[in-house]
Structure 1
Amino acid sequence: MVTELGHFALILALAVALVQTVVPLVGAHRRWPGWMAVAEPAANAQFLLVGFSFAALTHAFVTSDFSLRLVTENSHSLKPMLYKITGVWGNHEGSMLLWILILALFGASAAWFGGALPPTLRARVLAVQGGIGLAFLAFLIFTSNPFLRLAVPPLDGRDLNPLLQDPGLAFHPPFLYLGYVGLSMAFSFAVAALIEGRVDAAWGRWVRPWTLAAWVFLTIGIALGSWWAYYELGWGGFWFWDPVENASFMPWLIAAALLHSAVVVEKRESLKSWTILLAIVAFGFSLIGAFITRSGIITSVHAFATDPERGVFLLAITVLFMGGALTLFAARAEALSSRGVFSMISRESMLVLNNILLAVAALVVFVGTVWPLVSELAFDRKLSVGAPFFNMAFTPFFVALGLALPIGAMMPWKRGRPGRVLRRLLPAMALAVAVLALVYAIQTERSALGPVGLMLGTWLVAGAATDLWARTGKSGAGRLFRLQRSDYGRTLAHAGLGVTIAGIAGLLAWESEDIRVMQEGDTLTLAGYDITLEGVTRVQGPNYVSTTGTVRLARDGAAIATLTPEKRFYPVARMPTTEAGIDNGILRDVYVVIGDPQEGGGWAFRTYVKPLANWIWGGAILMALGGALSLSDRRYRVAAGARRVAAEGVPAE
């Protein structure tokens, strides 16, 4: 009964989304307050209906209702409760329902917190958001219904993909979707502004919180996915440049550019057309990500589905919204004239440079991702684009971004003096060069990647700290604790980027690796660590069988830790997984993987020492914390910005 109610709630949500799309748009065009007012209760109703439907599906998974096809294909009665719950979104249909739930949540949030928006803009934003929900609800109901029943329910299910039965990946999709779908708000604001034909400082203030929230969630989601790949897949890496990984990274880059571009709109009323375009493209990349993971056009460990019919539907949605928004943008571009004037040496110019570098970096990732498809379709040649291309083509733009970022953050608006800014940054510059020289002197016969990466990371961290101190003015430390939260947030985010860059450079430059066959009692030495395989046992898990190694880690004869790498086998799914044994540290990780037994005895055994590995995710945490701290600043909240606009006498219509 609950399942049927969940299905019925989805159909009602489709009808409500249709009303939310049509009625407020007509009302805004005709200036009919009653019709415009329909947007808010419709957004709330859509969220409640989709939320009930999601709860109904979750109930089916928790109670192991194998009369539901989706539960049978993605669950099992012996599965731990956490993975019964996460199994709801560990498949195509359930993940799509989660996508729509988050979309409805953002629409309802705009209704809850957008009371100070001009009525026509609010109505149009909610109508566009409703239109996106309408398209995806239709996609779910007509091609991917999660509530299909089985005529003869089996006694048990087929289990969830073992790779997804992990805490890191359990929470990775919700955060990633909060970022993906959160960018729909920037898209809705952009389309609504194009319909109205007006983009001003108030619009810049309204769109920034939504973009910042989406960027924070994307940062957390990407970091969780990278961390999962690091310790779960057993390959020792943190980023593979997989097409699906790239599909999440491209919106992150464009959202970062949009955040900085919206600042120029708010402060100087410049870059209006460019900012609108970024808002459209950012969500467009999210739609492309949904298409890539569900169309079967690529093969990836992250892919949810391989159904061409679904892919065509998603491609039609992408073309509809992207094509429609870009057509509207082309028609309205002339009306988006900029008022602010600034010199070539100014914060505005540095933000333009920031946007160019981020956009080109995203373009490089996009070209590398789709080029194998283009090559196969256009030239009938199969090829792969891997890490060497991305490292060579992407890295220079990001290095340039890192070098320019501290200078741009301290440059005055409208007109700046580069000499004055550079003088303030001299201590940071000296520290970065000193780190470069020290690391280069310590290492021998190594590439320049490590020293340059640590120099760039130091430059970003020290530059962020210098920027924060400069904002105290002549008051010095006395004013340090009275600065706005957004000042601290920006400092944390920029410093976090520096920490992540330093971690990536250190790991890639100085990683040590050993691959061999190990017998019980054997010891190997790697990068000064003694690693002994003390024993291998067979362990029965709740829904898997594990070959578990006991590994003793020592240095200079002193024991440091005992690691337990595993090779698991899930009988129901008939799939193996690898669980790395990792001794985490601030300056390094010792990473051990046990493989299959060998014919001559012993086990395949891989060992890595990974310098600065945890700096990668530590930097991501700092970036997310910085974004969240900025988001908590009252100046970033929609109501606060709107009150300021009202106080300045800007008309609502």
Structure 2
Amino acid sequence: MIIELGHFMLVLALALALIQSVVPIWGAQTNDSRLMAIASPIAIMQFLFVGLAFAALTHAYVTSDFSVQNVWENSHSTMPLLYKFTSVWGNHEGSMLLWVFILVIFSALVGAFGLNLPPKLKANTLAVQGWITAAFLLFVLLTSNPFHRIANAPIEGRDLNPILQDIGLAIHPPLLYLGYVGFSIAFSFSIAALLEGRIDAAWARWVRPWVLVAWGLLTLGIAMGSYWAYYELGWGGYWFWDPVENASFMPWLSGTALLHSAIVMEKRGALKVWTILLSILTFSLSLLGTFLVRSGVLTSVHAFATDPSRGVFILILLVAFIGGGLSLFAWRAPMLKQGGVFSPISREGSLVLNNLFLSAATAAVLVGTLYPLALEATTGAKISVGAPFFNATFGPMMVPLLIAVPVGPLLAWKRGDLFAAMQRLFIALGAAIFVTVLCYALINGGSALAPLGIGLAVWVMVGALAEMQLRIGLFKLPLGKSFSRLIGLPRTVFGAALGHFGLGMTLLGLIVASAYQTEDILVMKPGDQTSISGYTFQLDGFREHAEFNYVDLIGSFQVTKDGQQVAELHPAKRVYTSRNMPTTETAIHTIGGVTQLYLSLGDAQENNGIGVRIYYKPWVTFIWLGCVVMFIGGCFSISDRRLRIGAPARKGRAKQAAGTA
């Protein structure tokens, strides 16, 4: 009965979404405050209904109700409770229900906390959210119903894909979806502004917190997915330019451009049309990512759907929302009032440069991702576009952008002085040159360009602190005075500095780990030893270990350096008995919080031997720690009082409110 109630809750939510998509926007067109006021309570009710549906499916998984086809296909009674929970979204149907649930959460937040929004803007925004919600609820109910019953309930389930039985699954997809779906708010605000024909700095102030939330969560989601692949797949890689990885990376790049463009619009009233376009494109790329992963056109551990009808349905949604949004933009954008002018050498100019390079990089990733699919669809030929293409196109576009990152915040608005900004970055430039020369002098091997990349990372990291140093007068004022100034800085300044510093950390980790890692792939028997980067690995032997739903073959390795024991590592080959599928359980030892020893087992060989893959990965943790620092920077910016209390009132808004009353 709970399952039927969950299905009924989705039907009720669809009915409310249809009302929300029509009534508030009609009220906005007719200036009927009562119709516009309907949007908020309907959005909150949708959240309750979809939440109850999600809870019903979760209950079916936790209680192992195998009369539900979705539960039978993706769960097992002996699975740990944690994985019964995460199995809810470890499949196509459940993941799409999670997508819709997050969508209505954001809609409800706008309805409940958007108290400072003008009534028309709020009504139009929630109406657009209603369009998106209704479309995806139809998709779930018509093609991806998670509540379908089986007439004769099986005794046992088929188990969850073993690769997905990991704590990473509990974190990665929800974070990724929060980022994907979070950009729907920016899209809805943009469509609402186009419908109203009015966009200004206050609009940018209202939109920016939502963009920050989506961007920060997507950053964490991508980082978690990267680390999950790193330790779970046993290949020692953290980024493969896989189409599914690219599907999440493209909206991150576009969202980063949108975040910076919104700053220009908020501070200077410029780039209005461009900001609207970026809002539409960023959510469009999120929808494209949903299509690539959920339509079945990709073969990946992430791609759950295989039914062509689902792909066609999502393709129709893509055409409707992307085509409709861009068509409305083409019609209404020329009517929007343009912002103020500025010199190319200015903070606005640096942010425009940022946007150009990020947009070009997004286009390069988009072409590399879609070209093989388009070629196969049109000619039947299959090609693979991998790291060489992306390194040759994406990498060179990032270098000038990274060089410009520390300079932009030190330029004045409207008209800046590039020479003066570079003088203020003297310490950062000196540190970058010193580190580059030091790397060339002390490090043998690796790429000849690696020291230059390390110097670039140091330039970004040290340069990120330059604006704060200038604002607090460090080294120029007494230390106590500088500290009091530091406490009084706006949190957006901390946020920007941490965001750029985290970017430098990730860049540093990528370059050092890629250029200076060492690898050894060999067959080892008990008693064998091998050395890599000064560390000696000795295989002592194997043991078997059984749990409820899998069996492990665990290797025991002693790791020593200069005769001193460093660690004892226990990698394993695991076989899940229900599906008879093997997985690799890597063993990782972190040295000094930055460098890792990475060990994984391969297939069994003759004479009691086994394949072994060993990596020494210097500074690899900076890749993910940098993403965490970027997220923390986003949190600082969101917590700024100026964003928490909302935007200043638009001109004439008080008169309009008085007239309505």
TM-score by length of 2: 0.97
Alignment counterpart, residue 569 of structure 2, candidates 563, 566, 578: 563
Matched residue SS, 1:476:
helix
Contact (CA 8 Å) 2:205, 2:646: kept in 1 or not? Answer: no
Shift of 1:46: 0.5
Which residue of structure 2 aligns with residue 589 of structure 1?
596
The amino acid of 2:623's aligned partner reads I
Shift of 1:552: 0.9
Alignment counterpart, residue 551 of structure 1, candidates 557, 560, 566: 557
- Runs of 5+ consecutive residues of structure 2 not aligned to the other structure: none
Which residue of structure 2 aligns with residue 476 of structure 1?
482
Contact (CA 8 Å) 2:445, 2:516: kept in 1 or not? Answer: no
Q: How does 1:181-330 map to 2 (within 5 A)?
A: 181-330=181-330
Q: d(CA) in 2 for partners of 1:445 and 1:531?
A: 23
The amino acid of 1:620's aligned partner reads C
Shift of 1:376: 1.9
Matched residue SS, 1:409:
helix
Q: Deviations over 1:49-73 (max 9, x none)?
A: 0000000000000000111110000
Q: How does 1:66-105 map to 2 (within 5 A)?
A: 66-105=66-105
Shift of 1:472: 2.1
Change (3 A) 1:279 1:367: same
Shift of 1:446: 2.9
Which residue of structure 2 aligns with residue 451 of structure 1?
451
Which residue of structure 2 aligns with residue 411 of structure 1?
411
Which residue of structure 1 aligns with residue 353 of structure 2?
353
Which residue of structure 1 aligns with residue 508 of structure 2?
502
Shift of 1:566: 0.8
Q: d(CA) in 2 for partners of 1:268 and 1:587?
A: 41
TM-score by length of 1: 0.98
Q: d(CA) in 1 for partners of 2:539 and 2:619?
A: 25
Deviates more, 1:544-553 or 1:368-377: 368-377
1:619 equivalent in alignment to 2:608 = no
Q: d(CA) in 1 for partners of 2:56 and 2:261?
A: 41
Which residue of structure 2 aligns with residue 512 of structure 1?
518
Q: How does 1:424-435 map to 2 (within 5 A)?
A: 424-435=424-435
Q: Which structure 1 residue ranges, 4+ long, deviate > 3 Å from structure 2?
A: 473-478, 645-653
Q: d(CA) in 2 for partners of 1:446 and 1:620?
A: 25
Contact (CA 8 Å) 1:201, 1:269: kept in 2 or not? Answer: yes
Q: d(CA) in 1 for partners of 2:222 and 2:569?
A: 27
Matched residue SS, 1:358:
helix
Matched residue SS, 2:514:
helix
The amino acid of 1:477's aligned partner reads F
Q: Deviations over 1:166-213 (max 9, x none)?
A: 001221000000000000000000000000011100001011000000
Q: d(CA) in 1 for partners of 2:83 and 2:384?
A: 34
Q: d(CA) in 2 for partners of 1:448 and 1:115?
A: 56
Shift of 1:443: 1.5
**Matched residues, percent identical?**
54
Q: Deviations over 1:5-33 (max 9, x none)?
A: 11100000000000000000100000011
The amino acid of 2:142's aligned partner reads F
1:539 equivalent in alignment to 2:549 = no
The amino acid of 2:531's aligned partner reads T
The amino acid of 1:602's aligned partner reads G
Matched residue SS, 2:34:
helix
The amino acid of 2:106's aligned partner reads F
Which residue of structure 1 aligns with residue 638 of structure 2?
631
Alignment counterpart, residue 522 of structure 1, candidates 493, 518, 528: 528
Shift of 1:541: 2.1
Q: d(CA) in 2 for partners of 1:642 and 1:559?
A: 62
Q: d(CA) in 1 for partners of 2:561 and 2:487?
A: 43
Deviates more, 1:422-431 or 1:445-454: 445-454
Which residue of structure 1 aligns with residue 116 of structure 2?
116
Q: d(CA) in 2 for partners of 1:240 and 1:633?
A: 37
Q: d(CA) in 2 for partners of 1:90 and 1:380?
A: 31
Matched residue SS, 2:596:
strand
Shift of 1:648: 9.8
Deviates more, 1:437-446 or 1:260-269: 437-446
Shift of 1:381: 2.3
Contact (CA 8 Å) 2:265, 2:272: kept in 1 or not? Answer: yes
The amino acid of 1:246's aligned partner reads N
The amino acid of 1:508's aligned partner reads S
Contact (CA 8 Å) 1:504, 1:616: kept in 2 or not? Answer: yes
Q: How does 1:37-48 map to 2 (within 5 A)?
A: 37-48=37-48
Q: d(CA) in 2 for partners of 1:11 and 1:419?
A: 62
Q: d(CA) in 1 for partners of 2:535 and 2:5?
A: 59
Change (3 A) 1:449 1:547: farther
Change (3 A) 1:162 1:650: farther
Alignment counterpart, residue 488 of structure 1, candidates 486, 494, 511: 494
The amino acid of 1:635's aligned partner reads R
The amino acid of 2:602's aligned partner reads G
Contact (CA 8 Å) 1:544, 1:570: kept in 2 or not? Answer: yes
Q: Deviations over 1:238-266 (max 9, x none)?
A: 00111011000000000000000001111
Change (3 A) 1:549 1:647: farther
Matched residue SS, 2:612:
strand
Shift of 1:470: 1.5
The amino acid of 2:526's aligned partner reads E
Contact (CA 8 Å) 1:169, 1:224: kept in 2 or not? Answer: no
Contact (CA 8 Å) 2:518, 2:615: kept in 1 or not? Answer: yes
Shift of 1:340: 1.1
Q: d(CA) in 1 for partners of 2:505 and 2:655?
A: 42
The amino acid of 1:510's aligned partner reads Y
Change (3 A) 1:491 1:50: same
Matched residue SS, 2:406:
helix
Change (3 A) 1:642 1:66: farther
Q: Deviations over 1:412-431 (max 9, x none)?
A: 10000111110000111100
Shift of 1:646: 6.9
Shift of 1:492: 0.8
Deviates more, 1:459-468 or 1:442-451: 442-451
Shift of 1:650: 9.1
Shift of 1:595: 1.5
Q: Deviations over 1:507-527 (max 9, x none)?
A: 110010001100101110000
Which residue of structure 1 aligns with residue 17 of structure 2?
17
1:368 equivalent in alignment to 2:375 = no
Matched residue SS, 2:613:
strand
Contact (CA 8 Å) 1:449, 1:509: kept in 2 or not? Answer: no
The amino acid of 1:88's aligned partner reads V
Contact (CA 8 Å) 1:241, 1:387: kept in 2 or not? Answer: yes
Contact (CA 8 Å) 1:432, 1:456: kept in 2 or not? Answer: yes
Contact (CA 8 Å) 2:542, 2:553: kept in 1 or not? Answer: yes
Contact (CA 8 Å) 2:206, 2:646: kept in 1 or not? Answer: no
Q: d(CA) in 1 for partners of 2:272 and 2:414?
A: 16
Contact (CA 8 Å) 2:557, 2:570: kept in 1 or not? Answer: yes
Q: Deviations over 1:558-580 (max 9, x none)?
A: 00111110110001122111111
Contact (CA 8 Å) 1:294, 1:307: kept in 2 or not? Answer: no
Matched residue SS, 1:621:
helix
Matched residue SS, 2:65:
coil
Contact (CA 8 Å) 2:573, 2:582: kept in 1 or not? Answer: yes
Q: d(CA) in 1 for partners of 2:229 and 2:651?
A: 49
1:422 equivalent in alignment to 2:429 = no
Deviates more, 1:346-355 or 1:624-633: 624-633
Total equivalences in the alignment? 651
- Runs of 5+ consecutive residues of structure 1 not aligned to the other structure: none
Contact (CA 8 Å) 2:90, 2:169: kept in 1 or not? Answer: no
